[in-house]
Amino acid sequence: MRQLQVNRSFSVLPLLASLALGCSSSDGGGPAGGEIDNDAPLSDLDALFKDAPDNAKLDELGKADAVYPKLYTELLTQQSPVRNQASRGVCSIFATNALMEHLYIKGGNLPNPDFSEQFLQWSVKVEGGDFTNTEGSNAASNLEAISQFGIVQEQDWPYQGTKWTTANDPECTGESMPTKCYTNGDPPASALAAPRFKLPAGKWVNSKTNSIKAFMTGKKQAVVVGMTFFYQAWNHRLSAIPVDSATYWKEGVVFYPNAKDKTESLKKRAGHAILLVGWDDDKEIQPLDEEGKPAVDGSGNPVKEKGFFIFKNSWGTDRFGTQNPYGPGYGYLSYKYVEQYGTVYGSDVPKPEPKQEICNDQKDNDGDGKTDCADGDCAADAACTGSGTDYENTTGGAIPDNDANGLKSDIVVAEGGSISALSVTVDVTHPYRGDLIVKLVRQGGGEVVLSDRAGGSADDLKKTFAVTAFDGQDAAGTWSLVVIDKAKSDVGKLNSWKLSITRGSAAPTSQSYSSTESKPIKDNDPAGVSTDIAVADAGKIKALSVTVDVTHPYKGDLTVKLQRIGVGEAVLQEADAESGPFGKRTFSVSEFVGDESKGTWRLLVADVASGDSGTLNGWSLEIKR
């Protein structure tokens, strides 16, 4: 039987364009006789909240004295069209895809990204193995599938707006159905063979209003919110108490639920997921009471609710939010509602894969099936021509929870010799990888940040890092791995780590370039300051590291980026409200491996929070060709 394929794409009016007055349903699903169609599909509440940490366990982002704009709408220009999930309860799939399309627009990776919700629904359940017996899912599992496996474009497997029934497969009935009934079968062979697109692993975000604002302004990115659904607050037709279909449904206003709405809604538990794209501190409405009338206090005075996020929904443009000032399909969501009943999840802009083999990271970077020295591209690389030696510490130890000092583990290298290649293999067990900062420290001078709270909610950190910062130095000495857990509640341990050093008879083919130009870093200035380094030497980059020297008392205020003018950029550090000074730090960067080194390189440092200022003292590049 041929499946109904819904046109789930709708053009969004430009910011502050003319108000939409409503139109007929593009998929024929609207009610007859002009009745407001507010019976939108919902999701499995348990799926939305599965494995979500308690809010108290998540760090509150942003400083206590931070000041955020009252109206924040700059992300609205970086959104794809509003989509329509039609009759299926797959809102988290649509919200996650909306985030992914936004991040691809922000990163400039695709001009008009349109990714397949149909494919993501299948990938989460079949490739990822999550939520195999329900139609629902959540942002964490969705982004884990995107990060690990990738998804295809909409044209490769178009969305099907109705779920399978016995008309499609005899097994698709009853309480216990096979996974294929929730995915509408398997992708066609052409979709499985199509290019896949990925995002970095995501992270949970504290749902307090200022924490969300800190994340969105610091990273300039939207976030997915999954929440308990309260029917009257959403003006949904299935509400047991009266709703306001005429005004609030059309404007997309979702207020904080009253006590009766909470009680009645939890009798038929459901959830919903959306994408937060901005906010309005001054947006004020009069919510409804349990009788569906504008709420008043004991003296008969209007009760007002003030402060709302702006969000992008997935119920099309001809039903919900038809008269929202930011375009049909958008809405306003109560700050208090999100904080008390929501989970928040974010990711990052897509990062390009290395274009050629890195010869000492134990990965097949160029996808030819050969790794490191087994790849012919590495035949002349110093990592494969010198004498390689492994040094390992298997003692490990518990990582102190929420402790700025962390755990330090040493390896003593007695043998000297000029380092031509060095890699670090880390084996850490931890239930929340995004809590961790991992550094390699050379006692007596120098340290490299290997991982800075990357990986979101993914388990464990078992990875090999190629490090170039110590090339040409003598190998002998004490090397330390420092593992710091920067958040509360989740605990882990360092199982072991290994230092792999290759010594070469000839000096490594790396060159350093530096800028000593000093510039003040203005407080709370997203534009930031930058200085350039012109690299005149040509050749393809095999490895690259950046050393940044900044004086600033609060490193969590700073976003630091390395840009190759005309090519792209790598984010070295995102502002994350971490305390302590910045100082001098070295970052190992893989985004430009395989690119031409000749050209102009720019370091951008921006202070995105108020209260402190600093100075960019200088920076340097080390490039290995």
Task: State pLDDT tens for residues 594-618.
Answer: 788 899 999 999 988 777 889 999 9
| Crossing angle between the packed helical segments 91-107 and 139-148, to the nearest 10 degrees | 50
Q: What is the pLDDT of residues 290-347, one digit of tens each?
A: 999 999 999 999 999 999 999 999 999 998 999 999 999 999 999 999 999 999 999 9
Q: What is the CATH number of the domain that holds 318?
A: 3.90.70.10
Residue 538 sits in the same domain as residue 455: no
Residue 482 sits in the same domain as residue 548: no
Residue 521 sits in the same domain as residue 443: no
**pLDDT value for 29:** 32
Q: What is the pLDDT of residues 349-394, one digit of tens each?
A: 887 655 567 676 666 666 677 777 777 777 766 566 666 899 999 9
Averaged pLDDT for residues 201-215: 91
Residue 342 sits in the same domain as residue 464: no
Residue 487 sits in the same domain as residue 610: no
Residue 536 in any domain: the answer is yes
- Name the least confident of 143-157, 285-299, 570-584: 570-584
Q: Which of 503, 522, 539 is a domain's end point?
A: 503
Residue 492 in any domain: the answer is yes
**pLDDT value for 296:** 95
DSSP 63: -
Residue 389 sits in the same domain as residue 341: no
User: Residue 350 contacts by C-beta under 8 Å, 6 or more apart in sequence?
Assistant: 103, 104, 107, 109, 197, 198, 199, 200
Q: Which residue range is the domain that position 575 belongs to?
A: 510-624
Residue 413 sits in the same domain as residue 327: no
pLDDT band at 183 (very low <50, low <70, confident <90, very high): very high
- Return the sign of the alpha-carbon dihedral for residues 499, 501, 378, 585: positive
Q: What is the pLDDT of residues 397-452, one digit of tens each?
A: 999 988 888 999 999 999 988 888 888 989 999 987 778 889 999 887 788 888 87
Residue 304 sits in the same domain as residue 335: yes
Residue 129 in any domain: the answer is yes
Residue 4 in any domain: the answer is no
Residue 33 in any domain: the answer is no
**pLDDT value for 20:** 28
In this structure, the strands spanning 447-452 and 583-589 are: parallel
Q: What is the pLDDT of residues 16-41, one digit of tens each?
A: 333 222 232 233 333 333 344 556 77
**pLDDT value for 23:** 31
Q: What is the pLDDT of residues 590-599, one digit of tens each?
A: 778 778 889 9
Gap between the Cα atoms of 590 and 545, Å rounded: 8
Q: Which of 503, 533, 558 is a domain's end point?
A: 503
Place of tokens 């016995």: 166
Q: What is the pLDDT of residues 227-277, one digit of tens each?
A: 999 999 999 999 999 999 889 999 999 999 999 999 999 999 999 999 999
Residue 182 sits in the same domain as residue 276: yes
pLDDT band at 463 (very low <50, low <70, confident <90, very high): confident
**pLDDT value for 35:** 42
Q: Which of 330, 346, 362 is a domain's end point?
A: 346
Cα–Cα distance list, 127 to 121, 162, 193 (Å): 10, 22, 15
**pLDDT value for 27:** 34
Q: Specify whether the backbone of 132 is left (phi greater than 0), alpha (psi in -120 to 50) or beta.
A: alpha
The better pLDDT of the pair 494, 60 is held by 494
Q: What is the CATH number of the domain that holds 543?
A: 2.60.120.260
Residue 223 in any domain: the answer is yes
Q: Does pLDDT of 115 surpass 80?
A: yes
Number of domains in the chain: 3
Gap between the Cα atoms of 60 and 55, Å rounded: 9
Q: Are 261 and 233 in contact (CB under 8 A)?
A: yes
**pLDDT value for 12:** 37
Q: Are 159 and 203 in contact (CB under 8 A)?
A: no
Residue 328 sits in the same domain as residue 402: no
Residue 387 sits in the same domain as residue 255: no
**pLDDT value for 3:** 44
Residue 352 in any domain: the answer is no
Residue 331 in any domain: the answer is yes
Residue 294 sits in the same domain as residue 438: no
